[in-house]
């Protein structure tokens, strides 16, 4: 990160089908080797599959699942007087969304299953029901922040 000035925020474009910034960011994060059309087919297929399995709107289930994964607190390493402390800090909304998508994709890729669409849909259903690997990652992050609450006075 530059020491001179703040980095300029790029303007994100929503995806063409759902007009959602969340879906657009998910497509960008799931994309490998520049294969955007493949990433789009995975995400859109996952949203359609979520809609079929839950009998609700797939995009609503997807949004709710991502909101369930978003962390509220995390720990950051702070060096104070020669010792490193894990200091709990609140997570900014943009970072919370980014972490949630990253954790969901990592959990979906680690799953056993036929193809990425089915694995991603299964992980999203688990997140919608507050279970699964991505929710476990969020809970572990919150537990770490809770355990290090004593060092909160080192925040800044």
**Domain span including residue 106:** 21-154
**Which residue, among 23, 128, 29, 110, has the nearest Cα to 69 in the 3D structure?**
128
Tell me whether residue 42 is in a domain: yes
Collapsed DSSP state (helix, strand, coil) of residue 92: coil
Q: Which two tokens stand for residue 44?
A: 């859109």
Q: In angstroms, rounded to a whole number, what is the distance separating the alpha carbons of residues 117 and 101? A: 15
Q: Which two tokens stand for residue 114?
A: 């036929």
pLDDT at 83 (0 to 100): 84
Tell me whether residue 94 is in a domain: yes
The CATH number of whichever domain residue 98 belongs to comes to 1.10.455.10
pLDDT at 88 (0 to 100): 86
Instruction: Report pTM.
Output: 0.86
Tell me whether residue 122 is in a domain: yes
Tell me whether residue 125 is in a domain: yes
* Domains identified in the chain, total number: 1
Tell me whether residue 9 is in a domain: no
Tell me whether residue 101 is in a domain: yes
pLDDT at 145 (0 to 100): 87
Q: What is the pLDDT of residues 32-88, one digit of tens each?
A: 998 999 999 999 999 999 999 999 999 999 999 999 999 999 888 878 788 888 888
């Amino acid at each position: 990160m530059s020491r001179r000035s703040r980095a300029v925020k790029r303007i994100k474009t929503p995806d063409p089908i759902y007009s959602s910034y969340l879906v657009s960011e998910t497509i960008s994060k799931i994309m490998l080797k520049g294969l955007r059309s493949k990433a789009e087919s995975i995400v859109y297929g996952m949203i359609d599959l979520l809609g079929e399995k839950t009998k609700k709107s797939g995009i609503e289930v997807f949004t709710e699942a991502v909101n369930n994964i978003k962390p509220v607190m995390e720990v950051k390493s702070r060096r104070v007087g020669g010792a490193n402390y894990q200091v709990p800090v609140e997570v900014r909304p943009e970072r919370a969304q980014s972490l949630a998508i990253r954790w969901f994709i990592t959990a979906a890729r680690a799953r056993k299953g036929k193809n990425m669409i089915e694995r991603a849909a299964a992980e999203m259903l688990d997140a919608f029901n507050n279970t699964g690997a991505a929710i476990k990652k969020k809970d572990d992050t919150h537990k770490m922040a809770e355990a290090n609450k004593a060092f909160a006075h080192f925040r800044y």
